[in-house]
Structure 1
């Protein structure tokens, strides 16, 4: 197996037709067919199903394509890093962010990126922490912000980023949202709109807190998006439980009010894959995310967040450690 064969296979997978793929590669169709057969022979499996309409990937072919994307992207980045050893970082970087966090971080990050590293091609992947952790291990995401508690993995390196207070968010006119904080027992009789996914991020922090306080919630609807949750809050359906930064403009304009819930915080970690060495572009992006986040906090643009050291018990949840 060599890189040329993998590049040929990648183009064939994209076009699912030997003739069209050969034309794109500027080689004869028999030559392409021979290289794919050699690849199949070496691996001992069939990678493509040949039919009258062209060619489609087998399950083995799908797996090889996934690995080929990873290897070819890594090889291309090596070339860039060697050529630009003493120049500015450039090349592709995939950044993973939880969906609501993306609305807070991407715009200010992009402003600095365009000014400082215009030759870095950033792709942002939005997903929840469990999926982002898997993507880091698989090498399809280079760096990500994960919500704690995080799962220990020898395939990723993590460092503390910041801590956010989790709030009850409702209409600014709601008299129940008074004071500097709320006891968790206040949630017992309030209709709630929960966001995210269970056993992750905000939901996990909330689930643990209500279990400890023996509080049963009145959940009227579950949604993934904070945007949808806020629409329901503004319609008077109930409160949502969230970190307040994504709705900071609504809070500042006094449409909504966010009050921290006693004892519930969410720690964020900056994680990167150690499956392969960091490219110069990935190293630059990692530092830039850290710098941008802390700049937003200091400037008051990341509501109820602070870059303090986490409690040791929260750094890594022993109950979530992977078994060998």
Structure 2
């Protein structure tokens, strides 16, 4: 059964207006078109809806049932349109956002305040994980957007947020072959490494750089906390690595912050989403705001 909502609306207006002619004016159609729509509705349902033998036409018992149901159906349609308009207008909705612990406070905290000010009706559901977990959640449809290091998997589309060169953190007491404030990666071969926990996208970048420089890094500690990494470096446990954005504000007595002379590693943060997947209006608004802030 394929009941047309337009025919239901024409039928409702005939009842409300007390006739076909005033109903036609209400729905901006001809009287014959309205009469035909109601007749087709009766044929589709297999019942007579209006007693046309009296003036004005009266509802039959079946017509009473259909009229009541039609009012509810069209009210639901109006509610649906209004709710979708609210979503398109960002008056309501949910943004499911995944961010990494590294760099999010500097890059994304200001965006939260702006987003909240522009779209107070949007609820932001935030999770924080390493890149591997965020990639899995994004692939499974648990997230709309995730902060990942670029280039990302071919399964995702992405928008660049920020590129920062990597810095080496080393205790001042550690002797290194340094030219000015720059160090070659090969000069770190004898130093223990303090890295982030497994699942953080920085780790493979650093391990690959070490292997390209001709050595296998000796990892003595892992942490998910930037400040704890700095303290471990200050204590002389090993060398640490941070993007410049996070390293420079953490300069302190006892810790040197050095640039990499060779190779120059770049931390490239991006916002990613499933390629070919539906991107909600709230997620698009977040991307536009992030692009404007870049």
TM-score band, normalised by shorter chain: 0.5 to 0.7
Give 1:188's aligned residue: 189
Give 2:286's aligned residue: 285
- CA displacement at 1:92 relative to structure 2: 1.3
Question: In the TM superposition, what whole-angstrom CA distance separates every residue of 1:77-118 from its partner, at most 9, and x where no partner exists?
Answer: 997442354x34532112111111223223212222232222
CA contact (8 A) 2:189 2:210 kept: no
Structure showing greater radius of gyration is 2
- Taking only aligned residues, the RMSD between alpha carbons, in angstroms, comes to 2.8
CA distance in 1, matches of 2:231, 2:83: 45
For the residue of structure 1 that corresponds to 2:202, the secondary structure is helix
TM-score by length of 1: 0.57
Runs (5+) with no aligned partner, structure 1:
1-76, 295-324
Give 1:103's aligned residue: 105
Give 1:300's aligned residue: none
Question: In the TM superposition, what whole-angstrom CA distance separates every residue of 1:51-102 from its partner, at most 9, and x where no partner exists?
Answer: xxxxxxxxxxxxxxxxxxxxxxxxxx997442354x3453211211111122
CA distance in 2, matches of 1:173, 1:78: 67
- CA displacement at 1:175 relative to structure 2: 6.5
- CA displacement at 1:247 relative to structure 2: 4.1
- CA displacement at 1:271 relative to structure 2: 0.8
Distance 1:238-1:184 versus aligned 2 partners, 3 A rule = same
CA contact (8 A) 2:161 2:270 kept: yes
For the residue of structure 2 that corresponds to 1:118, the secondary structure is coil
Give 2:205's aligned residue: 205
CA contact (8 A) 2:167 2:241 kept: yes
Distance 1:124-1:226 versus aligned 2 partners, 3 A rule = same
- CA displacement at 1:238 relative to structure 2: 2.4
1:1-324 matched pairs, under 5 angstroms: 80-85=83-88, 87-153=89-155, 156-171=156-171, 176=176, 179-197=180-198, 201-251=201-251, 256-261=255-260, 262-263=262-263, 264-274=265-275, 276-292=277-293, 294=294
Distance 1:130-1:84 versus aligned 2 partners, 3 A rule = closer
Distance 1:214-1:79 versus aligned 2 partners, 3 A rule = farther
Distance 1:104-1:171 versus aligned 2 partners, 3 A rule = farther
Distance 1:150-1:279 versus aligned 2 partners, 3 A rule = closer
Distance 1:233-1:81 versus aligned 2 partners, 3 A rule = farther
CA distance in 2, matches of 1:102, 1:283: 19
For the residue of structure 2 that corresponds to 1:99, the secondary structure is coil
For the residue of structure 2 that corresponds to 1:146, the secondary structure is strand
CA distance in 2, matches of 1:193, 1:203: 10
CA contact (8 A) 2:194 2:238 kept: yes
- CA displacement at 1:148 relative to structure 2: 3.1
CA distance in 2, matches of 1:103, 1:258: 20
CA contact (8 A) 1:170 1:234 kept: yes
CA distance in 2, matches of 1:172, 1:249: 17
Runs (5+) with no aligned partner, structure 2:
1-79
